[in-house]
Amino acid sequence: MNTSDRQWADLSYIEAQAEEFQAIGAQLTANDFLLKMLPEAACSEIAASLSALREKLAEPFSIVVLGEFKRGKSTLINALLGENVVPSAATPETITINRIAYAEKPSATVVGESGRRYRLDEGELNRRKLEPILEQIGEPARFLEIRRPLAWLMDVMIVDTPGMGDIFARYDEMVANFIARADAVVYVTSALAPLSLSEQHALRSVILPNGFSRLFVVMNMIDLIDSAEEVKGLERLIAERAAQVTPNSAVFPLSALHELSRRQGGGAEDFLDGAFEDFRTALREDVLLQREVIKSERIVRMMRGIVDGIRRKAGTVRELLGKRDDELEQMRVSCVERRENLLNRMLDIREQFGRDMLRMKTEAKAWMDEFVERLGAEIASLENHPAEDLRKHLQFYMMDMLREALERCVEAHRPAMLEAIGALAKKEGIEVPELSVSAAQFNANIRIQDQDWTKYDTGMLVVDQVATQVSILSIFRPIANVVGGALRRKELAGKQVDIVKPMLEKLFGIRLDVFNAVDKIYDDAFERITADVRALYEADVAGMLADIESVREQTRANAMSRAEGEEHLKHVDALVKRMDAIVARVGGA
């Protein structure tokens, strides 16, 4: 091993270096030239990144558990720890980020947005008790801090998150902060909807940019899958999908619920026990035993991000200082003009994008029409199945199928939506990075015949067999095939039935509701995407305008010559150079 590798692995050395880095950062704040030149938003960005580093240095190694709502994240954590530490089956009113750490004396605290802390009594951590408490507090909760005297937590903190990119968007920023400070992530998906496109999108846009060296993907709920073979097939499917997003992923099929009940004295089942054990072992060997190396890497990565951000900002200020006053005025005027033009541009964009969306909407209706037809044919073929099971499940099943098909329409169109809006925006001179569009965002509130489309109310779900979207229509075929197949196979062997006809009538009766749902989903998507583009554009112009105005104001107010400004920036350069040197020293150059 050479010297730099040795240093790399030494966490305390890196932490000491990071302290020094911090101190230099603090000088920048104290010296204040750069910050004085910058508008407030940019200053607080720099300050926030420095304080995130400070927090990271004070925190233990952190594992963040991510995934959409109701994938079994909280259950997984409880299963790992062997007791009910975090509340599971949370409702929208009780979702919180839960931070779980070690303490000799157990405790639970709500940390409010203001930073104020509210103690919870033992036993108040369940959903029913928590709901009125969270309401009474009178401010949104930032997170719940739970402390337990568990050996497992001695050197590790676990962060339990609510869903991402869904209707609970108010947590997104907080979750993003936890992800940025995370040392490792575990992404939980369900065997019943194995790494759907919106989950792949979340991985790509939220998790990947944070550069984790390894991604643990848990395929939960395998107790609901019929056979070990099917589990293998699903595991392969997830592995393929995860590999498209990142090469460093490992997939762990398991049942969190089974493990939790086993640890609380429930029965053993070889296959399920072994599956969880594999996960536990991998977590120990790949993460816990290497936590010093991993945390070192994460700290270095954060420092590099911070120094790059400061360098970029110093560059902007230098460029603006280099302009004559009339040039700055010209820039300012053109910014203001761009902002005033925004309304007209947005009207143009709305009109053109609206045409694109109308085309997609029509296409989606045609697909759904064909889908209803196929679903009808499948249901008609169920005539000889047991009435009781059909009565119990068919309605839910139908709803699930339709919901799934609707999601697939949006998933299939998403690339086209992004491409269309991207091209239009570009033509108007707006750079569009990654827009966050996912089906889960659009159809959160869709109801048909007053029935909530909650996938998880019924245990009967489509096992997604569509590997790639070769042609659009082929998306629906496997679903339709599964309808008959699964019902025949699992639930309905043997008995006679008289319920198919009324169901069919119902199915064709809701065709109109389905079309309305398509309208609503696509209209929502349209509004959301145009609003996103507008916000991006506004932020772009507003940021530039603020930079220009801030530099002008400061140079005037302090009667500072450009040469003087240049001198000050040299000081900033020197600090950046020292920060760079630290990053290089710890191996992150």
Ligand X SMILES: Nc1nc2c(ncn2[C@@H]2O[C@H](COP(=O)(O)OP(=O)(O)O)[C@@H](O)[C@H]2O)c(=O)[nH]1
Q: Which residues of the chain form contacts with ligand X (CB under 6 A)?
A: 67, 69-75, 88-90, 220-221, 223-224, 255-257
State the residue number with the nearest CB to ligand X.
72
Nearest distance from C-beta of residue 179 to ligand X, angstroms: 16
Closest to ligand X by CB, 66 or 425: 66
Q: Of 264 and 516, which CB lies nearer to ligand X in the complex structure?
A: 264
CB 86, min distance to Mg ion, A:
7
Name which of Mg ion, ligand X, none residue 414 binds, using a CB cut-off of 5 to 8 Å depending on partner kind. none
Output 145 or 235, the one with its CB closest to Mg ion: 145
198 contacts which partner out of ligand X, Mg ion, none, CB within 5 to 8 A by kind?
Answer: none
Dihedral of CA atoms 156, 157, 160, 166 in degrees, nearest 10, equals -100
- The nearer residue to ligand X, 257 or 480, going by C-beta atoms, is 257
Our CB check for ligand X shows the closer of 202 and 448 to be 202
Region from 67-75, 343-351, 405-413, 447-455 binding Mg ion, contact rule CB under 5 A: 67-75
| Nearest CB to ligand X, comparing residues 183 and 223 | 223
Question: Which residues have C-beta within 8 Å of that of residue 378, sequence separation ≥ 6?
Answer: 480, 481, 483, 484
| Residue nearest Mg ion by beta-carbon distance | 74
Which lies closer to Mg ion via its Cβ, residue 68 or residue 378? 68
Q: How far is Cα 549 from Cα 328, in angstroms, rounded to an integer? A: 9
Asked if 530 interacts with Mg ion (CB under 5 A), we say: no
Q: Name 10's bridge partners.
A: none
CB 347, min distance to ligand X, A: 41
Least distance (Å) between residue 492 CB and ligand X: 21
Which residue is it, tokens 């053993």? 268
CB of 238 to Mg ion, least distance (A): 20
Contact status: 161 vs Mg ion (CB under 5 A): no
Q: 338 is in the binding site of which of Mg ion, ligand X, none (Cβ under 5 to 8 A by kind)?
A: none
**Token pair in block for residue 478:** 């496997």
Q: Which of 74, 94, 296, 530 binds Mg ion (CB under 5 A)?
A: 74
Give dist(CA 400, CA 413) in Å, integer: 20
Cα separation, 539 vs 77, whole angstroms: 39
Q: Closest distance between Mg ion and the C-beta of residue 576, in Å?
A: 42
Span from 71-79, 282-290, 404-412, 571-579 in contact with Mg ion (CB under 5 A): 71-79
If binding is defined by CB under 5 A, does position 190 make contact with Mg ion? no
Q: Which of 360, 346, 324 is nearest to 561 (CA)?
A: 324
CB nearer to Mg ion: give 175 or 417. Answer: 175
Quote the least distance from Cβ 93 to ligand X, whole Å: 13
Q: Which of Mg ion, ligand X, none does 257 bind, CB closer than 5 to 8 A by kind?
A: ligand X
Q: Dihedral, CA atoms, 495, 499, 501, 506, nearest 10 degrees?
A: -140
Specify the residue, 141 or 357, whose C-beta has the smaller distance to Mg ion. 141
Task: Please list, in sequence order, all residues whose beta carbon lies within 8 angstroms of the beta carbon of residue 76, skipping any fewer than 6 positions away.
Answer: 65, 186, 188, 218, 220, 256
SS3 label, residue 66: strand
Which residue number, 179 or 430, has a Cβ lying nearer to Mg ion? Answer: 179
579-583, Cβ contacts within 8 angstroms, sequence gap of 24 or more: 579/21, 579/24, 579/25, 579/303, 579/306, 579/307, 579/310, 580/307, 582/17, 582/18, 582/20, 582/21, 582/24, 582/303, 583/21, 583/300, 583/303, 583/304, 583/307
Interacting positions 81-100 with Mg ion (CB under 5 A): 90
Which stretch, 66-74, 241-249, 280-288, 480-488, contacts Mg ion (CB under 5 A)?
A: 66-74
Query: Of Mg ion, ligand X, none, which one sits near residue 70, judging by CB under 5 to 8 A according to partner kind?
Result: ligand X
- Pull the structure tokens for residue 193: 């909807």
Three-state SS letters, 442-486: HHHHCEECCEECCHHHCCCCCCCCCCCCCCHHHHHHHHHHHHHHH
Instruction: Tell the smallest beta-carbon distance from residue 74 to Mg ion (Å).
Output: 3
Minimum distance between the CB of residue 547 and ligand X, rounded to whole angstroms?
A: 42
**For residue 108, how far is the Cα from the chain centroid?**
26
Closest by alpha carbon to 413, among 470, 478, 363, 373? Answer: 363
Burial class (CB in 10 A: 0-12, 13-18, 19+), 67: buried
CB of 495 to ligand X, least distance (A): 26
Q: How far apart are CA 492 and CA 392, in angstroms?
A: 11
**Helix, strand, or coil (residue 71):** coil
83 with 77: CB under 8 angstroms? no
Query: Given the rule CB under 5 A, which residues bind Mg ion?
Result: 73-74, 90
